[in-house]
Each structure stands twice: as structure tokens, then as C-alpha cells.
A and B are shown apart, each in its own frame.
Chain A
Amino acid sequence: MQATANEAQRARLVIVGNGMVGHHCVEQLIERGATAHFELHVFGEERQRAYDRVHLSEYFTGSCAETLALCAPDYYSRHGVHLHLGEAVLDIDRERQELLTAEGRLGYDQLILATGSYPFVPPIEGSSGNARLVYRTLEDLDAIRAAAADARRGVVVGGGLLGLEAANALKSLGLEAHVVEFAPRLMPVQLDSEGGAALKARIEALGVGVHLSRATQSISAGEQYRYRMNFDGGEHLETDLIVFSAGIRPQDALGRACGLEIAARGGVVIDNQCKTSDPRIFAIGECASWNGSVFGLVAPGYAMARNLAARLLGEAADDFTGADMSTKLKLLGVDVGSIGDAHGATPGARSYRFIDEANSAYRRLVVDASGKQVLGAVLVGDNSYYDTLLQYAQNGIALPADPAALILPQGGGAPALGADALPDSATICSCHNVSKGAVCAAIDSGCADLAAVKGCTKAASGCGGCAALLKQVFEHELTARGVTVDKSLCEHFAYTRQELYALVRVEGIRTFSELLERHGKGHVGCDICKPAVGNILASCWNQPIMDPALVPLQDTNDTFMANMQKNGTYSVVPRIPGGEITPQKLIVIGQVAQKYDLYTKITGGQRIDLFGAQLHELPLIWGELIAAGFETGHAYGKSTRTVKSCVGSTWCRYGVQDSVAMALRLEDRYKGLRSPHKLKFAVSGCTRECAEAQSKDIGVIATDKGWNLYVCGNGGMRPRHAELFATDLDDETLVRLIDRVLMFYIRTADKLQRTSVWREGLEGGLDYLKQVVIDDSLGLAAELEAQMQLVVDRYECEWANALGDPEKLKRFRTFVNDQRADPDVHFVRERGQRRPAAPLQLIPTHEEAM
């Protein structure tokens, strides 16, 4: 832990804790150029670098430690920050200004405590092992997952925000989940009794047991389940595991040990500048107590981090003077919102209430004595009212004549306070304290799209709750500046891909020229709209792509139904469904490869790629392959590629379903499907997941009851785990859901958009996709299935089609007036095969030259 020589002149600033707030503080310091003035050290007790605890439950639905991480792996080192992970700070010697870890000692000039909090576990007799789990860190979640492996039922003690999150996690692990709360209602801090009741009704409807006003006396061995929880009053509940989420306590042990002032209810006491009783030590986040309060949300912690970072660098900084605890959440899929004085505790406060018992919805608006200002609000069941109410409350906007209208059901959805009604000072993103004025400034400095505004201001990159409002403000401000948001596909079509898709469908358009004539400009089109429209036509009508009207639309790979390589030759990929192939067919591939001297390589999708064919050789090669029973593999298309599979229950001692048979069925069904981008599938025969289905657009994993379906994953440049979409499906339901997901994707995705990016851009996220696909909320399911069936019924091997038509084969000539091969294609031999010779002279393109 010695500083290097060139660091000697800089003051040493140590941050203890690498959670969300500690990390945010480092970000704020780096942004302000702190590394020029400070040698920064960060200590984290956990082995993981800072991750997103707000979205912790996603760890069970597809996210991993890496996707939850708050920064790139090299973020700290790139900025010269010393990150010590898995190294707990054991003691602080304030006299010598040194801290002690298991590795040694390190002096500091200034020190920031950001040690967060720990879960409070009430002392209960018999509570240990799987009856004493907590929900705070990734390690905790691993322990819960392990405990759930052979469990049927799980109980969460604590019906607050985190407790309900934990119940959701148990549910997504396939357990029957119960919540036990000491108070007479759920979320007692944020909700009033009516709101709590509405939430209880909603959650019970999801199959989660809710037990209120229960205090657990002891835990003993159970009869039907592993444990029995004995409550006050003699009742009991049996369960296989218990997760405690009965509140948090500030992690102030270091502060206590070194004699810093500690608040009566815990937490290191700080002043408005986040300074502790030692002027060299600061505390931020959940380990700090300001004015007797500990703030258990991320936004106040971020505010402290931001203010402190500015102050340490001598910038003008706001004092920390308390925080708005308003919050908007989706718990177990149920909208819950709480704003300001939700309980109406302010003297003279009056309330408006809307109760819908039929749908378990509840809204309460708390206004001041004059009836002119919003003090607070409670929302259960529909958060579309939240943004508007929050703006009224935070910005002191005068209420309309009839305030009740703000919470009453509206024909056209929740009343929106137009973006123009917000003052420049209005806070859009409270996590990163971004005002409407800052968003406007970003637009004026050249941010032309939403992603740029997010990158520039960081708005909507904390909890993400303000994303919809940010979009609204952004679009309003663009319009106000006379900028129309141009979503045109290209200069020939003033429509998005989605709009063109709808036009093709509704008007039954079958050719590019027809579409261009009716809805486009010019007569030729371009290399953007032609392949995009060709793809839409194929998705809708699935006519052979070699039909004369369709051929000129395709990108070169589709035109010649092979993949062009760097020297202009092609590679050929026959379909090998599910990766299953007979020895005889394998021999044929070998013979063809040998005859045409094709470089041969196994692909990642369990197929065989044959490289180096010239244009005129393609029909000859395919003639031999088709005679041996092969079909085209569509490796050249934006279309279904492969369905990878493991060997499954027929051979594997762990397999629980016949994954190969399912892979064959899926590949056979979707093999002719063209889509906005390529589609990859996999089927695994058991939870060991040897087919890597969670990295595919459509992943299927066998369970002992059927199949779990995962959607919208991919590998490649930006890997994304697929998310669990539905569980324990039978064969027919599985296929039906895949039909719907894929057709909905084809219908609504942008051009060249993989399912992962499409899914991330879906407003409403995975829940929305589930509503559309599983619950049929748009009434589209039958139509989507019928559209898929049409594509399936029209399937035809494109190569077989082309080989049967001399006109189509005319195109497969290297020269239309000469029999010779391209004399400029040269190969050299390497490792027993040929590969392209190095080109003689290449000219870099424009973008490369730059």
C-alpha cells in the first residue's frame, strides 16, 4: 500500500466503502478532476466492485454481477484510482491518521466513510442457517439461491420496500413466497392504511401470502416444511427458508470504534457539509446520520456524495439539508409511489382519496391547509400519476381549481403536467440532481438525441424512474426549438421501419416498387431502404428472395445466398438442425469441401462453414449438398440462424428433457423466418445449461416439469443475458409463446436491431412484453400466431428454389461473357487448407483514414 514517488505531493483521500454511494462519490471526484489533487484510494469489503443494489432482484432473472456493475472493469485503474476490493478496513487511528486492514496500514489526509448499512435481524430463538438469511449483497443472494434449491416455500420477515423486493426474488426462484410484517400494513413508512390494503390485495392476487401484525417468537423444526415460525398469540407458519428484511442499520462500527460522535439511533453524525466530529473525516450515505435521520434511499446518498466531492475540490457546494424521500417503485410488478408527506402529518393538511376496490387501486393526494400546494401523495396500482404529482409537490406549482382531478381516473390516461409547465429549476432526475434547465442546456450544446442528453447530464441513469419525464421534456424542447425529430428510414421513405412494416401488412404490399410508388420518393431506393424493405416483405409474405422483383433489394449476401468474404469469394453453410448430423451427411460435406478445395471450419452454432467458393461454384456446390438432403442454412440472412442444443435426456445422465428433439422442432419451425436482425436459439436439457441458452435471442432450458423460456439475450460485442420469461411450459405453449415474442419483435423493432436492444428500448420493459405475449393485453396474440404460421407454411429452401430455375441461375456467373474464374483470387496453403493470399495493395476507406 505504498504510494509511488510521483504521488508524494498529492494529498491522500481514502474512501471506505465501494457501494452505490461510495462509487458515486468517486465518479463525482473524477469528473471534477480530483486525481490531479488527490491520490485516491477506495476500499471495498466485498469482492465485487460497486454494483446496483436497487436492481438486485434482477440477479435472479438474468442479470449477473457484471451487468449489475456500476462501471467498466477498468474504470478505476484508467483514472489512476487505487481500488482495494475484498479488503475490509478494520480500524482507523485518528491520531496517526492511518487506517488498518488485513494487508497493512495506510495513512490518509482526508477520509470518507461510505460503509452503508447492514440488515437488521431481530434476535429470535432458533434463527440460524437457512432460517436466518438476509437480502443485501450478491453473496446474500447466492446464499438464498443455494437455500432455495431444494425448497418449496420461503418467508420474508418484513413487509417494507426491501422485504417485498426479497419476496419477488423468492418468487422468481420458483418458491411459494410469504411476507410476515410486524405492523398492521405493508410498507408502513411510505403508505397509509388504505394504500397498504390495496397493495396487500394486489400482492395476494399474485399468489404471495401476506401476514400482518405478526411478531415471530421463535423458530422450531417444522412438520411439513423445514422450519416452523411461531407467532405471538399461538399461530404458526411453516417454511423451508426465512429471509430477514426488517429494516437496515447504519454500518457505523468503524466510526464507533475510533470514537466519532454517533447518533442516538445509530449512524455517524454529520453536519450540513457531511463532516463528522473529526474535521478530516466525512461520512455519506446510509452510514451517516444527519439531524438524527439516516436516509435509506440512493438519491440522498448521491446528493451527499455530489456535495462533498464539490466541496473537497474547493467548488461552490450546496449544503446537505435533508432529502426528499419520495419514491416510485414497481414491487412484485405492482406500481407503488409515495411523495413527500404521504401520511398527511403536516398540521392542517387535508386529503383527497380515490379507492377502486375492484382493481385494488388507491390514490391519495395530500394538500396544505390553503388547498393550493401539494404536500404529498400515495399511489398504489398505477404510477402514471406520479411524475405530475411530484412536480407539483417539488416545485410548489399552484394546484388547479379541483385538485381531485389529479388523482381521478381519466379517459386519456393520467393527467400530464405538460413539460412546458415546468420551471427551469424543476428537478427531472433526483438521483443525479438534473434540472430541466440542465437538460435544456445539454440540448443547446448540441445533444441531438436522448442518448446524448443522458450521457451528458446523467439524467435517468440512476434509478431510471424519470426516463419517461426526461423523454417528454426532451421532445418538447426540441419541438420548441423548431427541430422535428426525424425518424425517417432514409431519404426515400419518411417512415420508420415499424411504420413501413404496418403499411406493408395493412395494404398487402408485395414489392419494393409498389411501396416506393405509394409511400416513397424517387424510383431507385438505396442501400438502406432496399434491404430493410426486402426484409419486411420476407417477414410478412415469405416469398422466395430470388424472385426477380426481390433480388435487387437484397444485400449481396442475400442476393447470392452465401456470405461474401474479404477476397470476394463466398462461404457456404448448410443447415445442420440442432447440431445433429448423420455420419453419411458429414462425409458428404467432407467430400464437397475436398472437391471444391474449401477451407472448412466448425462454427459456434454447431454447423460447418465452407470457405473460398467463387460465384459460379455456388450452384454446383449446392446441387451436391441438396442431393444429399441438406437445406440452406440462412447464414447470409437477417433470419433464423441455428438452434444450438446439448445432447439432453437421451444420452446425458443429468438431462431431464429431450433437448435435441425440441431443438429440431424449433429449428424446423423457424428456419425460414426473416427478422430485423439475425436470430439465435438454444435448447438445454437441464439446468446445467450446456447449450448456453441464456446467451441467445430465444433460450429454452428444460425443467422436470417442462421448459423455461428465456428471451432477448445475445453474445457478441455487448453481451446480454436472456431474461426468464415463463416457466414450466409444455411443448405447445412454449412454441406458441415463441411465435408471439418473435412476431411482436418483427412488428415493432427497428431495422438491424437485435432482440436485446429492442427489449431494452421497450417502454414498460419485460413486464410489458409479458403482458402483451402471455396475458394478450393488446389482443394481438391470435394475429401474431397466424402471421407466424403463414411464414412457416410458406417455407421453401431458397437454394432448392433457385437451382430449379435457369433464369435465377444466370446471376451465378463470375463473368456473363466468359467461362473463366476470377483470375485475381489467389490462395496460399496453411495447416493443410487454403486461405486468401495477402492483397497486393489496399486503399484505406474514408473512415479508416481518419
Chain B
Amino acid sequence: MNLSNTAVASETRWQAVCLASDLVADSGVVVWHEGEQVALFYLPGQGQELYAVGNRDPRSGANIIGRGLVASLGATVVVAAPLYKQHFCLQNGNCLEDQTQRLPVWPVRIHGVTVELGQRLR
């Protein structure tokens, strides 16, 4: 099963960041990764089970995206930022309400018992 974000370069260098058991089902956790904060969202049983986006909310400047609520709006899986409730697509990091806001996205996969990140896409 393909557990990773799409659009992964063929020579992706995967790096383990945490254990799969650190993930919380239907919710987010945050990892420290090479000086950056990455929010991991785990949706077991869905088409794509794992997403990795930046933890910094561009609106408030606070590192809170990983504590947002996961939602589906139409076919898009999104996270609602906890302070001002704007929605970000977990697939591409785009904000649904405001084109000027976007989150960075990482390729991510579960590899055995660990969760691995690829290089930041944008």
C-alpha cells in the first residue's frame, strides 16, 4: 500500500523521525526535524493514511497546526488551524480561504515501526 504523499522524487532520501506508535489516530502530533517543526496527521483506514505539513500557522505565527482538527471538505482532507480556523489541504499545504497562505509539505511514510520523512517539497 502506498502510504506516502504523492509526487515523491525517485531518489528520495528517507529519514526516520519517530515511532509509528507515537502517532495518534485521526489526529496530529509534531516532530522536530532538522531545525523545523513538522506536523504529522494519521488517518488509519483512509486512502492516504499519513500526511506531513509545517507546524507554523502563517496567520498567527504560532506553531500550532499539529494541534488542529482533521476534516474532509468535499474530496479534500484538511486541517483546521486551531486559532483562526482557516483550513489547509494536507495534500498540498494550500489554504482554502486565502491563497497567500500555504504550509510546507514533506513526503512521509511508515517504514516498519518508524515514521520517515523525505526532503521538504516546498
Docked pose: A436 CA to B84 CA in angstroms: 42
Contacts of B112 in A (CB 8 A): none
Query: Known interface pairs A527-B69, A555-B69. Does A845 touch B97 (Cβ–Cβ under 8 Å)?
Result: yes
Instruction: Answer yes or no: A370 CB below 8 A from chain B CBs.
Output: no
Question: Could you tell me if B64 and A564 are in contact, using CB atoms closer than 8 angstroms?
Answer: yes
From B58, B63, B69, B77, A530 is in contact (CB under 8 Å) with: B69
Instruction: Answer yes or no: A846 CB below 8 A from chain B CBs.
Output: yes
Question: Could you tell me if A814 and B67 are in contact, using CB atoms closer than 8 angstroms?
Answer: no
Instruction: Answer yes or no: B2 CB below 8 A from chain A CBs.
Output: no
CB of B3 to closest CB in A, whole Å = 17
CB of B34 to closest CB in A, whole Å = 11
Question: Could you tell me if B83 and A531 are in contact, using CB atoms closer than 8 angstroms?
Answer: no
Interface with B: A409-417, A753-761, A817-825, which one? A817-825
Query: Known interface pairs A527-B85, A816-B31, A845-B101. Does A556 touch B69 (Cβ–Cβ under 8 Å)?
Result: yes
Nearest to A552 among chain B residues (CB) is: B26
User: Interface SS of chain A: helix, strand, loop or mixed?
Assistant: loop
Contacts of A560 in B (CB 8 A): 67
Number of interface residues of A (CB under 8 A): 45
Question: Could you tell me if B24 and A523 are in contact, using CB atoms closer than 8 angstroms?
Answer: no
Question: Could you tell me if A824 and B63 are in contact, using CB atoms closer than 8 angstroms?
Answer: yes
From A492, A530, A564, A818, B67 is in contact (CB under 8 Å) with: A564
Contacts of B67 in A (CB 8 A): 556, 559-560, 564, 568, 615
From A524, A559, A615, A840, B61 is in contact (CB under 8 Å) with: A840
Instruction: Answer yes or no: B8 CB below 8 A from chain A CBs.
Output: no
Question: Could you tell me if B22 and A816 are in contact, using CB atoms closer than 8 angstroms?
Answer: yes
Docked pose: A332 CA to B57 CA in angstroms: 57
Question: Could you tell me if B31 and A842 are in contact, using CB atoms closer than 8 angstroms?
Answer: no
Instruction: Answer yes or no: A794 CB below 8 A from chain B CBs.
Output: no
Contacts of B95 in A (CB 8 A): 846
Instruction: Answer yes or no: A548 CB below 8 A from chain B CBs.
Output: yes
Contacts of B24 in A (CB 8 A): 551-552, 810-811
Contacts of A849 in B (CB 8 A): 98, 100
Nearest to B72 among chain A residues (CB) is: A524
From B37, B59, B101, A815 is in contact (CB under 8 Å) with: B37
Question: Could you tell me if B61 and A839 are in contact, using CB atoms closer than 8 angstroms?
Answer: yes
Instruction: Answer yes or no: B91 CB below 8 A from chain A CBs.
Output: no
Interface string of B4-41 (1 = CB under 8 A from A): 00000000000001100010111101111100010000
Docked pose: A806 CA to B17 CA in angstroms: 21
Contacts of A844 in B (CB 8 A): 59
CB of B15 to closest CB in A, whole Å = 11
Instruction: Answer yes or no: A525 CB below 8 A from chain B CBs.
Output: yes
Docked pose: A840 CA to B58 CA in angstroms: 11
> Which of A526, A810, A845, A846 has the most chain B CB within a 10 Å cutoff?
A845
Instruction: Answer yes or no: A566 CB below 8 A from chain B CBs.
Output: yes
Question: Could you tell me if B86 and A845 are in contact, using CB atoms closer than 8 angstroms?
Answer: yes
Question: Could you tell me if A814 and B71 are in contact, using CB atoms closer than 8 angstroms?
Answer: no
From A548, A552, A615, A839, B60 is in contact (CB under 8 Å) with: A839
Question: Could you tell me if B31 and A815 are in contact, using CB atoms closer than 8 angstroms?
Answer: yes
Question: Could you tell me if A527 and B86 are in contact, using CB atoms closer than 8 angstroms?
Answer: no
From A524, A559, A564, A822, B71 is in contact (CB under 8 Å) with: A524
From B63, B68, B70, B87, A822 is in contact (CB under 8 Å) with: B63
Docked pose: A555 CA to B85 CA in angstroms: 10
CB of A413 to closest CB in B, whole Å = 42
Docked pose: A139 CA to B62 CA in angstroms: 54
Question: Could you tell me if B59 and A845 are in contact, using CB atoms closer than 8 angstroms?
Answer: yes
Contacts of B57 in A (CB 8 A): 568
Query: Known interface pairs A491-B74, A524-B46, A526-B72. Does A567 touch B29 (Cβ–Cβ under 8 Å)?
Result: no
Query: Known interface pairs A523-B46, A525-B72, A555-B69. Does A817 touch B61 (Cβ–Cβ under 8 Å)?
Result: no
List B residues 79-104 near A (Cβ within 8 Å).
80, 82-87, 95, 97-98, 100-101
Question: Could you tell me if B25 and A548 are in contact, using CB atoms closer than 8 angstroms?
Answer: yes
Question: Could you tell me if A842 and B59 are in contact, using CB atoms closer than 8 angstroms?
Answer: yes
Query: Known interface pairs A552-B70, A564-B82. Does A817 touch B17 (Cβ–Cβ under 8 Å)?
Result: yes
List A residues 799-850 near B (Cβ within 8 Å).
810-811, 813-818, 820, 822, 824-825, 839-847, 849
List A residues 540-556 near B (Cβ within 8 Å).
548, 551-552, 554-556
Nearest to A560 among chain B residues (CB) is: B67
Instruction: Answer yes or no: A129 CB below 8 A from chain B CBs.
Output: no
Question: Could you tell me if B71 and A817 are in contact, using CB atoms closer than 8 angstroms?
Answer: no
Nearest to A524 among chain B residues (CB) is: B72
Question: Could you tell me if B22 and A556 are in contact, using CB atoms closer than 8 angstroms?
Answer: no
Query: Known interface pairs A524-B46, A527-B80, A817-B17. Does A568 touch B64 (Cβ–Cβ under 8 Å)?
Result: yes
Question: Could you tell me if A843 and B59 are in contact, using CB atoms closer than 8 angstroms?
Answer: yes
Contacts of B69 in A (CB 8 A): 526-527, 530-531, 552, 554-556
From B60, B68, B82, B97, A842 is in contact (CB under 8 Å) with: B60
A and B contact pairs by CB, cutoff 8 A, 8 listed? A523-B46, A524-B77, A551-B27, A555-B82, A818-B31, A846-B98, A847-B97, A849-B98
B residues near A (Cβ < 8 Å) are: 17-18, 22, 24-27, 29-33, 37, 43, 45-46, 56-64, 67-74, 77, 80, 82-87, 95, 97-98, 100-101
Knowing that A556-B67, A568-B64, A841-B61 are A-B contacts, what are 7 other residue pairs whose CB atoms are under 8 Å apart, sorted by A's residue number?
Answer: A524-B26, A556-B69, A816-B18, A824-B56, A824-B62, A842-B60, A845-B98
